[in-house]
A and B are shown apart, each in its own frame.
Chain A
Amino acid sequence: MPETQPIETPVLEAAVAFGRLLRRGGLAAGTGRVVEFTRALEELDVTRREDVYWAGRITLCSRPEDLELYDQAFEAFWENVKKPRVFRRPKTQLSLSPIDDSVQPPKKTAERNKEGEEAVRLRYSPVDVLRSKDFALYTAEEFAELHKLLADLSLSGALRSSRRLEPASRGRRDPRRTLRGALRTGGEPIRHRFRKTRNRPRRVVFLCDISGSMAPYSRAMLRLMHAGVVSGEPIEAFVMGTRLTRVTRELESRDPDRALREASGAIKDWSGGTRLGDTVKEFVDRWGQRGMARGAVVVILSDGWDRGDVAVLAEQMRRIKRLAYKVVWANPLKAAPGYQPLAKGMAAALPSVDVFLTGHNFESLEELARAVSGAVSGRRGGTG
């Protein structure tokens, strides 16, 4: 193959400018991809609209979500359509934001008491009080303190055996290591080596309801989800408003303030009215059935208020139940004495729930973590 001919400058310039436009729109069209794009143009007919369109789409996009943006940008750039109106990927700002509740430790306020000694006073409640305090009564500082508590909480899913093997004292024969050993004993495999399947934690999928009534609890849950995602365990995080938003990527940032800011940036509808059944369905259709919920521990935080058709929710919960290893539902309303699952959605969902708990304070989050790791007695237990 002859050396690649130098790329004609106008084409190259146009390609670079187009790449810049795409990046501004939010596409990951880095230099490598732009180079690939110009290469593709070389091989095709630059004068044909279709060829240019496809060359770009094939080299500059990498997800189905990219395609719509690409189409818009293509029209704007190559066909000189006047300024596109909504070109950027919409980044909605939201009103309620967990940004305010900083995770930085609260300022210690030094006061002089009568004797003139400095007494350091913290404004939040002592830890043991905090543990059983309802999230709805938390102050911003206490939310910050909660973060430290959560960092110690392990959200490791119940174990399942993976197909990867690791050395073990018994199990399947491991010819590779046996042979290595045999070399030392003159080719006689005196000691047999073994390996067995490794145990790995199951995926934990969080579905967090962020409708208005749930606000204090979903804040706490977002923090819990962040702590989990950062710990490196296989965890997926979604929030349910009027629609479903996946926030796993956004929560990956180690800096909790930033993670929560990014997650809330991704959420388009804080505190919208909930059609719980529809959002759960969106999860099962788009993610769950394809593999995310399969054999996973699914945790739902919601008060079970569903303005839609509860039959939908009942059916979707049955689907989740069939896919998942275990379904955990946390409902802060359950903490009230004499609670009955009166919300129709809750009643419809309960038959498909393995562990039903409150999730209204830190202690119950601990209980939740135990349920996730399988420490709480089994599936089908603890309902009601």
Chain B
Amino acid sequence: MTGTAEGRRGALPSGVSHSSDLQGMLQGQSYLADQGLSTAIFLALKLGRPLFLEGEAGVGKTEVAKVLSRMLSTPLIRLQCYEGIDVNQAVYEWDYARQLLHIRTAEAFGAEEDRQRFEDELYTRQFLVSRPLLQALEHVGEMPPVLLIDEVDRADDEFEAFLLEILSDFAVTVPELGTIKADRPPIAILTSNRTREVHDALKRRCLYFYIDHPSLEREAEIVRIRVPEAEEKLTRQVTETVQRLRNMDLYKPPGVAETLDWTEALVALGAKELNEGLIEATLGSVVKYREDQQRAMDPALSLLAGT
């Protein structure tokens, strides 16, 4: 892999020489990453490789991309995947209306050689509308942009195959135009909820990190940083309850996102600590299946009785 052909790889901010430096910077952006995740991000930035993040819903996968974009003050370009997403929605599309106008103008001029010239101009860069992936490749700036390819497991095989080309060469080929190559590879973050197994070939091009639910201590720390208005006692109670719910074999165990939602809901209600009425009123922000709610109610209350 030579330096010239690949453009300048890597996008580490200055002053970062080890993953622990990065951990501090992330914390400065209110994101608590453990050593594993900060090492993964460090390597992704240093080696200029896409980072593939997997984990349960709500553990903060998407958040990584947002935080990186804030931390590096570089734009976040987001591509939300869904079934049937194709090149026209993800990479580029021709601007048909303008192309038609252009031909009509040629008609108006009339001269034969002019018409030929107008037609040749039809498929040039000016008529190409860039969608997120092309935007990320063409971005000009101090830092490469953060490219978030969200929920890649929702896209289908055809699209995955297509991503392969982009993520290995950081280039796309527009048949009418030629190959467009990134000057510097974007900082690519892919997330997956594992609704289906993403193809190995795609994963092979990425660094891989599995984000787990945080420990009690870490989760309390996250709540303190993200919802500083919450009283300490409330923070403890909320995180302990959520941790317990996670061990309860629910259909959908709550993620960190739910913990934060719940704390915010409680703070909005002016709660200083949990009580039965509050739990009943707000349980819906943590546990989102009816069966789960019935199952969760008692343990949540028993925890209260214990404290």
Report the stretch among A61-69, A113-121, A298-306, A338-346 that lies at the interface. A61-69
Given contacts A58-B43, A290-B193, contact A28 B96 (CB under 8 A): no
Given contacts A44-B19, A179-B100, contact A58 B40 (CB under 8 A): yes
Given contacts A28-B200, A51-B19, A55-B43, contact A187 B1 (CB under 8 A): no
Contact status A163-B84, CB under 8 Å: yes
Q: How far is the CB of B221 from chain A (nearest CB, A)?
A: 19
Residue of A nearest to B57 (CB): A290
CA distance A1 to B197 in the complex (A): 35
Q: Which residues of A contact B208 (CB under 8 A)?
A: 58-59, 61-62
- Against B, the Cβ 8 Å flags (1 = close, 0 = not) of A18-40 are 00000000001010110010011
Q: Which of B3, B153, B193, B196 contacts A3 (CB 8 A)?
A: B3
Residue of A nearest to B51 (CB): A58
- Against A, the Cβ 8 Å flags (1 = close, 0 = not) of B37-75 are 001101100110100101000000000000000000000
Contact status B47-A43, CB under 8 Å: yes
CA distance A187 to B19 in the complex (A): 58
Q: Which residues of B contact A10 (CB under 8 A)?
A: none
Interface residues of B in 176-218 (CB under 8 A from A): 193-197, 200, 203-204, 207-210
Q: How far is the CB of A251 from chain B (nearest CB, A)?
A: 15
Contact status A291-B210, CB under 8 Å: no
Residue of A nearest to B12 (CB): A43
CA distance A59 to B46 in the complex (A): 13
Chain A interface residue count, CB cutoff 8 Å, equals 46
Contact status B204-A162, CB under 8 Å: no
Residue of A nearest to B195 (CB): A291
CA distance A289 to B289 in the complex (A): 12
Contact status A179-B3, CB under 8 Å: no
Cβ of B231 within 8 Å of any chain A Cβ, yes or no, is no
CA distance A191 to B90 in the complex (A): 28
Residue of A nearest to B102 (CB): A187
Residue of B nearest to A290 (CB): B195
Q: Which residues of B contact A289 (CB under 8 A)?
A: 251-252
- Against A, the Cβ 8 Å flags (1 = close, 0 = not) of B75-114 are 0000000111110000000101101100110110000000
Total cross-chain contacts (CB, 8 A): 109
CA distance A175 to B88 in the complex (A): 12
Given contacts A1-B9, A44-B39, contact A62 B204 (CB under 8 A): yes
Given contacts A40-B43, A54-B39, A182-B100, contact A315 B195 (CB under 8 A): no
CA distance A363 to B24 in the complex (A): 67
Q: Which residues of A contact B193 (CB under 8 A)?
A: 290
Q: Which of A55, A63, A187, A292 contacts B107 (CB 8 A)?
A: A187
- Against B, the Cβ 8 Å flags (1 = close, 0 = not) of A146-190 are 000000000000000011100000000001101100110011010
- Against B, the Cβ 8 Å flags (1 = close, 0 = not) of A43-78 are 111000011001101110111100100000000000
Q: How far is the CB of A277 from chain B (nearest CB, A)?
A: 13
Given contacts A44-B39, A289-B252, contact A58 B19 (CB under 8 A): no
Interface residues of A in 248-303 (CB under 8 A from B): 284-285, 289-292
CA distance A44 to B122 in the complex (A): 50
Residue of A nearest to B291 (CB): A315
Q: Interface centre among A32, A43, A176, A285, by most B CB within 10 Å? A: A43
Cβ of B119 within 8 Å of any chain A Cβ, yes or no, is yes
Q: Interface centre among A164, A178, A284, by most B CB within 10 Å? A: A164
Contact status A176-B94, CB under 8 Å: yes
CA distance A356 to B1 in the complex (A): 59
Contact status B94-A162, CB under 8 Å: no
Given contacts A58-B40, A289-B251, A290-B194, contact A163 B200 (CB under 8 A): no
Cβ of B307 within 8 Å of any chain A Cβ, yes or no, is no
Q: How far is the CB of A23 from chain B (nearest CB, A)?
A: 14
Q: How far is the CB of A258 from chain B (nearest CB, A)?
A: 20
Q: Which residues of A contact B203 (CB under 8 A)?
A: 62
CA distance A319 to B291 in the complex (A): 10
Q: How far is the CB of B248 from chain A (nearest CB, A)?
A: 12
Q: Which residues of B contact A57 (CB under 8 A)?
A: 36, 209
Given contacts A28-B200, A40-B43, A315-B291, contact A164 B84 (CB under 8 A): yes
CA distance A162 to B49 in the complex (A): 32
Q: How far is the CB of B9 from chain A (nearest CB, A)?
A: 6
Given contacts A50-B35, A64-B210, contact A43 B43 (CB under 8 A): yes
CA distance A336 to B42 in the complex (A): 65
Contact status A179-B96, CB under 8 Å: yes
Cβ of A337 within 8 Å of any chain B Cβ, yes or no, is no
Q: Which residues of B contact A36 (CB under 8 A)?
A: 47, 49, 207
Apart from A164-B86, A290-B194, what 20 extra A-B contacts exist at CB < 8 Å?
A1-B9, A44-B39, A44-B43, A54-B19, A55-B39, A55-B43, A57-B209, A58-B43, A62-B200, A62-B204, A63-B54, A67-B210, A162-B84, A176-B94, A182-B103, A183-B122, A187-B100, A290-B193, A291-B196, A315-B291
27 contacts between A and B (CB under 8 A): A30-B204, A32-B204, A39-B47, A40-B207, A43-B42, A45-B18, A50-B35, A51-B19, A54-B36, A54-B40, A55-B39, A58-B39, A58-B209, A59-B43, A59-B207, A162-B83, A162-B84, A163-B82, A163-B85, A164-B84, A176-B94, A179-B99, A182-B103, A186-B107, A290-B194, A291-B154, A292-B196
Q: Which A residues form the contact surface with B (CB < 8 A)? A: 1-4, 28, 30, 32-33, 36, 39-40, 43-45, 50-51, 54-55, 57-59, 61-64, 67, 162-164, 175-176, 178-179, 182-183, 186-187, 189, 284-285, 289-292, 315, 319
